[in-house]
Amino acid sequence: MKEIMKSLTSLDKQIEEAKRSVAVQEGRLEETVKQLKDEFGLDTIVEAEELEMKEKAELESLSKDIEQRFSKLKEKYEW
């Protein structure tokens, strides 16, 4: 009987720790969503992921453009 009580007490502690962890993670998620709204005007994580893909594509395009222009300058002025 003592062993059962000990196991139940241990499980209760694990459950309480899991509840605290969930509460912390929920708080972090709420803060992240609030930050997305405040800084970028986004309402969901999905919107943030879509914006991220769009921004990455634009960054890649701009990087290629810079590289091409730099190459042209190098050719023109023979560095």
**Are residues 39 and 54 both part of a single domain?**
no
**What average pLDDT does the structure give for the chain?**
94
Short-list 54, 57, 34, 56, CA closest to 45: 34
Helices (H) and strands (E) in the chain, counts: 2, 0
Q: Provide CB contacts within 8 A for 73, sequence distance 6+.
A: 79
Q: What is the residue range of 71's domain?
A: 45-79
Helix axes 45-77, 2-40, angle to 10 degrees: 50
**Are residues 33 and 54 both part of a single domain?**
no
Q: What is the pTM of this model?
A: 0.61
**Are residues 33 and 60 both part of a single domain?**
no
Average of pLDDT values for 7-15?
96
Confidence of residue 18 (pLDDT cuts 50, 70, 90): very high
pLDDT of 45: 87
Q: What is the pLDDT of residues 30-67, one digit of tens each?
A: 999 999 999 999 998 899 999 999 999 999 999 999 99
Number of separate domains in the chain: 2
**Are residues 38 and 16 both part of a single domain?**
yes
Give the dihedral sign, CA 22/23/24/29: positive
